[in-house]
A = this chain, B = another copy of it.
Amino acid sequence: MSADSARVEAAIEARREEVNDAIAETLPIKRPERLYEASRYLLDAGGKRLRPAMLLLAAEAVTETEPRAEDYRAFGPDELDVMAAAVSVEVIQSFTLIHDDIMDDDDLRRGVPSVHQEYDTETAILAGDTLYSKAFECMLETGAPADRSVRALDTLATTCTKICEGQALDVDFEGRDDVTTEEYLEMIEHKTAVLYAAAAAIPAILLGADEAVVDALRGYGLDVGRAFQIQDDLLDLTVPSETLGKTRGSDLVEGKRTIVTLHARERGVDVDALVDAGHPDDVTEADIEAAVERLESVGSIEYARGTARDLVDRGKERLDVLPESEARTTLAGIADYLVDRTY
């Protein structure tokens, strides 16, 4: 790990405990207990808290505040509860993961059973629905002037709609052979990147920043969010199973569309024949290695790397409208970190 990555990880880590405490305050286990336990289950199972950290850093960058010098519960001259907004974004992320795991019938998440496995599907649907409205309640508790709250709420609502659209596009793609890399980039913008955009832009909205700053942070989030998803696709192909925490090449075996395989298909590769998807248990590490070599030979791995790198560079450039600050440097570092990470 580079020194820069270590600094970024330390910056996220430094805010994690506080975010975790705020989540516990926001979602106490109360009657009906089983519902709230299920709602907390995935949140308590871990997670980097990358989006809340991004939101808190953006708040600091917008106000040129020294890192962690201010109380996130009474932040800036208006003493806003930016932590409530940070929790809101993380709670939305958790709701989407719970419902996604039901839809994809995934049994594991963050090394523990998914919520519908640990509880049951009914409870998991309801836990996700509860987190959904709790996120809106949270976003209303920042103490920001009403006009800014309305804009933040609107951003949150349209973000959620886009996440649903992105998930629907992803499902739709599974049944299609003619998905283009452009369509894929649109899908991951909706499914993944818009929540990063919300995390980066909402503090600027709440703190009354200039439109140019709000737009820049939104654009930054959209760029780094897409880069993050592409890096996920690459890691699935290139990182050994032990490091990955799941089977290397699982996207290939499951026939999932990624920017790598879509690019290869556009170059004439029969991606469905790369591994024997009909017999996933028979697919060896050597089969995956051979498939990756084929994808490399037509430049698809390099294409994905280049696309992620371009997005990161553009995202970082957008931060130039902000005054120089340690928080701004860290936001730029997060962009690099998302594509430099190896797990």
Given contacts A132-B132, A147-B146, whether A137 and B154 have CB atoms under 8 Å apart is yes
Q: Are B32 and A165 closer than 8 Å at their CB atoms?
A: yes
Q: Are B164 and A35 closer than 8 Å at their CB atoms?
A: yes
Q: Are B164 and A126 closer than 8 Å at their CB atoms?
A: yes
A158 vs B136: C-alpha distance when bound (angstroms): 9
Question: Does A167 count as interface, using CB distance less than 8 angstroms?
Answer: yes
Given contacts A137-B157, A140-B157, A153-B136, whether A168 and B126 have CB atoms under 8 Å apart is yes
Query: Chain A: interface secondary structure?
Result: helix
A136 vs B128: C-alpha distance when bound (angstroms): 16
Question: Does A318 count as interface, using CB distance less than 8 angstroms?
Answer: no
A122 vs B116: C-alpha distance when bound (angstroms): 14
Which residues of A in the span 128-156 have a Cβ within 8 Å of any Cβ on B?
Answer: 128-130, 132-134, 136-137, 140, 145-147, 149-150, 153-154, 156
Question: Does A125 count as interface, using CB distance less than 8 angstroms?
Answer: yes
Residue of B121, B157, B172 touching A133 (CB-CB under 8 A): B157
Which residues of A in the span 146-194 have a Cβ within 8 Å of any Cβ on B?
Answer: 146-147, 149-150, 153-154, 156-161, 164-165, 167-169, 171-172
Q: Are B126 and A140 closer than 8 Å at their CB atoms?
A: no
Contacts of A165 in B (CB 8 A): 31-32, 35, 130
27 of the cross-chain contacts (CB-CB < 8 Å) are A34-B168, A35-B165, A35-B168, A99-B125, A99-B126, A99-B129, A102-B122, A102-B125, A123-B171, A126-B164, A128-B129, A129-B160, A130-B161, A132-B132, A132-B133, A133-B161, A133-B164, A134-B157, A134-B161, A136-B136, A136-B153, A137-B157, A137-B161, A140-B150, A145-B146, A149-B150, A153-B153
